[in-house]
Structure 1
């Protein structure tokens, strides 16, 4: 950004002072009158014409011509109006010498009034989902690819203007429309009964937009990817040249500035449809937001329908269904009927300890031991007041749990002790083992395989090491509940130094 552009961008805006000045009603009335006359192609206005145009307002009932002239001069000082001497109708020298002026609205003021007029019409986010804009963008990108640079002079500027205006309109209108669906007013509307009449049109509108987006997105992305850097640069240079060739009364922007703006616009277009490689594209986010809006509408309608059904008695239907069930002789037929009538029940995740007695994949869940878990009622109704219950005594349960734990530890140590004396174990050398031994072996193999050095220490102080973790030889481990094909691992067992020292100390004390 050069120094002049920085000054234009960051300077103060005295032209906006009349919007918040002390006599804001008078200034706003004058500027709005100038703007209305500007749209009627009347540009230079005399003070008498201005006064006549604004004095009819109820807020300016006591307004005078002298005040109007003073206000016009103030607006000229702020840069809102330009003036020139009006001496065309002077009949005498005195009339000519009197300072009669005509006033013209400046470009900044025109844009300010245009903005204010637009803001007065804003009642919400507005916006729309115009699916035909996707087709327009795709067609213009295809024309850029196939453009004949020699026989179509002047077409590049028009093509770029149409393309970028369609892109801006698509982005701004879609963003505004999706934002309007997130407002509190939309939430209130979605819970009202009247929304049931409107929801079909709204859902169809969103679905049609999604279908057009998905249908045209591939064409747009394909055309953008096929327009390489050379074609893009050639096209934008042609646009800049045609813009600079247009006859202007004002000073034309520098070519470098214009090229920078065009390249930034093309980058915005490309990023919106293709993304930047790190974050998803705006097109993807728009599609996701539209689908989320459809899902919210469907959920709201379902909740309203369920709320309406909740007050309807279904006694007769349930009685008829109960009679239907009572006439069935087979349990499987009742299961099938329940599946057709009620469908799948909602899944509930319950926490509990896995007490499976076998790892067989073909074992049915109905053959496993159940996990008993007490569920607390979710009803908001208070039940009958119950007497205070004493704190339960769990000493007996704790004793049983402790004895069972010590028994498991003794069995674990007994199995490990024999292996420590043996010092080495190879899977292929084993005969048929018990279920507990098979589970224990698989646990040890898993711990060794996941350890960095393929070794670990058990709670009893035994170091187990796998000597051949990458072996390709395989063997069959036979167990009480089946056979398992696995690598022929070799394990070694040894007591740690701490356990050995503790054993020696305990043996010495026993001798003493």
Structure 2
């Protein structure tokens, strides 16, 4: 933060939002703003007054009050004034000073903020995967911006920043709404079950968008060279400086600091730095946590509603049955039926029915046998004895296949060597198994103090870290990954 006169001075332009006659001031400023949106920048006192009295709320409003309000707004620097001398016909009219009024730049931005706050709960926030796709496409175009015209680079840079700001604000507002007290109370109501599935599907679609795009964006940002970034940022700065501005002095250092800060914000949002989770990972975890909470609340609510509804219907049905009884004897029999058999025992088994006819009784079907086991803790089923199988041939076959696999892997690894060295920046497309072996060799060497180790077949090698500061991309059949530019150097045994 840099303390300046603009930062520490009071904002008198915002006084009209909380003054004594705030209802009149805000309505006047809204009239000016609506005309400003229609490109009508100057208004007369009479025009403002006519629009004010059209609403019944200002039926008692007077021209003198309107003039005083406009003077106060001018004093607070919400309005600029200029004397209108076009229709002056006498010295007396010139002395009366008929003015035209115009909104100041501060007032326009304040009124836009007020309108946005008024529509805050109407517009709402959202989680749109399309923003992630747009950012991914913009980041992928980063290398080609070095050859483009500075106006096109500035448009690309502005679109990227706008998409990033929208993504950041929308996800924060949407997650805040889902974690609010109002959302928590709604999740305990029956109405929540109606749109629960749509909400979960919406969140899952956003998670899919995260998984598809964040990794690509991260890799592209990591691969950007400092020279390319400097070249692109220079074009954006040149275009910014070429824009004519009135009453505003902009320095190159200020613009460069702003651009560097915005790029660093985008970089930190998508790229992990020194083991710290980036904002994309935090958003992924927060969205998953919300899905788990929604599912848990919905299950509890469904279980609670189902249990209460079933028991309520049960009691109503039992009451109807008792009301149909003709005398106490029937009521006693009904009581024995209802309460005496409340928890009947059922025998379950693998019954094979010979027919699906509903007219066949239980006693007409074949009996089913059920083996009962003693209900004691010491009971154990008898174990059947089995002979020891000879598996020497199977072991030999397994050993032979393993040796063949090792031989093939050794041949593939030898094919990667160039004069006794394996350069990771010159590797062809690797199989997953070969990649695992090479990374294991790297891990073994990194754990040693002198960065040397031995392979499984006894070959000694040392890790060449002379170009460790540079990065390279290793291509594999199941994907690519970025790593330092290292090489493995094999040493002949003495």
TM-score by length of 2: 0.63
Note closer, same or farther for the CA distance 1:67–1:9 as it changes in structure 2 (3 Å cut). Answer: same
1:324 Cα deviation from its structure 2 partner:
3.6
Determine the C-alpha separation between the residues in 1 that align with 2:342 and 2:204: 36
Contact 1:82 / 1:103 at 8 angstroms: preserved in 2?
Answer: yes
SS at match of 2:145: coil
Determine the C-alpha separation between the residues in 2 that align with 1:110 and 1:11: 19
1:199 paired with 2:196, answer: yes
Determine the C-alpha separation between the residues in 2 that align with 1:225 and 1:80: 47
SS at match of 1:147: helix
Contact 2:150 / 2:238 at 8 angstroms: preserved in 1?
Answer: no
- Within the candidate set 296, 299, 302, 2:299 is matched to 302
1:177 paired with 2:177, answer: no
1:171 Cα deviation from its structure 2 partner:
0.9
Cross-structure match for 2:371? 329
Cross-structure match for 1:265? 262
Q: Which one is further off, 46-55 or 102-111?
A: 46-55
Contact 1:157 / 1:239 at 8 angstroms: preserved in 2?
Answer: yes
Determine the C-alpha separation between the residues in 1 that align with 2:176 and 2:343: 45
Cross-structure match for 1:37? 35
Cross-structure match for 2:476? none
Contact 1:191 / 1:304 at 8 angstroms: preserved in 2?
Answer: yes
1:104 paired with 2:75, answer: no
SS at match of 1:110: helix
- Within the candidate set 136, 149, 152, 2:149 is matched to 152
1:53 paired with 2:51, answer: yes
Cross-structure match for 1:218? 215
Rg (Cα) greater in structure: 1
- Within the candidate set 234, 242, 267, 1:245 is matched to 242
Determine the C-alpha separation between the residues in 1 that align with 2:345 and 2:145: 73
1:231 Cα deviation from its structure 2 partner:
1.9
User: Superposition pairs for residues 14-163 of structure 1, below 5 Å?
Assistant: 14-123=12-121, 126-149=124-147, 151-163=148-160
SS at match of 1:207: helix
1:276 Cα deviation from its structure 2 partner:
3.7
1:224 Cα deviation from its structure 2 partner:
0.7
Note closer, same or farther for the CA distance 1:319–1:94 as it changes in structure 2 (3 Å cut). Answer: same
CA RMSD of aligned residues (A): 2.9
- Within the candidate set 258, 268, 277, 2:274 is matched to 277
Determine the C-alpha separation between the residues in 2 that align with 1:51 and 1:366: 98
Note closer, same or farther for the CA distance 1:172–1:331 as it changes in structure 2 (3 Å cut). Answer: farther
CA deviation vs aligned residue, 1:138-158 (integer Å, no higher than 9, x gap) = 111111122242x53411111
Determine the C-alpha separation between the residues in 1 that align with 2:117 and 2:134: 28
Determine the C-alpha separation between the residues in 2 that align with 1:92 and 1:132: 64
User: Superposition pairs for residues 497-512 of structure 1, below 5 Å?
Assistant: none
CA deviation vs aligned residue, 1:118-151 (integer Å, no higher than 9, x gap) = 11122389210000111111111111122242x5
SS at match of 1:322: coil
Determine the C-alpha separation between the residues in 2 that align with 1:11 and 1:238: 34
Determine the C-alpha separation between the residues in 2 that align with 1:24 and 1:37: 20
CA deviation vs aligned residue, 1:36-67 (integer Å, no higher than 9, x gap) = 11011110111111111212233332222122
TM-score by length of 1: 0.61
1:196 Cα deviation from its structure 2 partner:
2.0
User: Superposition pairs for residues 245-394 of structure 1, below 5 Å?
Assistant: 245-277=242-274, 279-311=276-308, 312=310, 321-324=346-349, 328-329=370-371, 331=373
SS at match of 2:94: helix
Q: How many residues align?
A: 334
Cross-structure match for 2:7? 9
Contact 1:15 / 1:78 at 8 angstroms: preserved in 2?
Answer: yes
Determine the C-alpha separation between the residues in 2 that align with 1:66 and 1:102: 16
Determine the C-alpha separation between the residues in 2 that align with 1:175 and 1:331: 60
CA deviation vs aligned residue, 1:411-464 (integer Å, no higher than 9, x gap) = xxxxxxxxxxxxxxxxxxxxxxxxxxxxxxxxxxxxxxxxxxxxxxxxxxxxxx
Determine the C-alpha separation between the residues in 2 that align with 1:317 and 1:328: 24
1:366 Cα deviation from its structure 2 partner:
9.4
Note closer, same or farther for the CA distance 1:63–1:228 as it changes in structure 2 (3 Å cut). Answer: same
Contact 1:84 / 1:101 at 8 angstroms: preserved in 2?
Answer: yes
CA deviation vs aligned residue, 1:386-410 (integer Å, no higher than 9, x gap) = xxxxxxxxxxxxxxxxxxxxxxxxx
Determine the C-alpha separation between the residues in 2 that align with 1:283 and 1:213: 8
Note closer, same or farther for the CA distance 1:98–1:310 as it changes in structure 2 (3 Å cut). Answer: closer
Unaligned residue ranges in structure 1 (runs of 5+): 335-364, 368-512
Determine the C-alpha separation between the residues in 2 that align with 1:162 and 1:366: 75
Contact 1:75 / 1:81 at 8 angstroms: preserved in 2?
Answer: yes
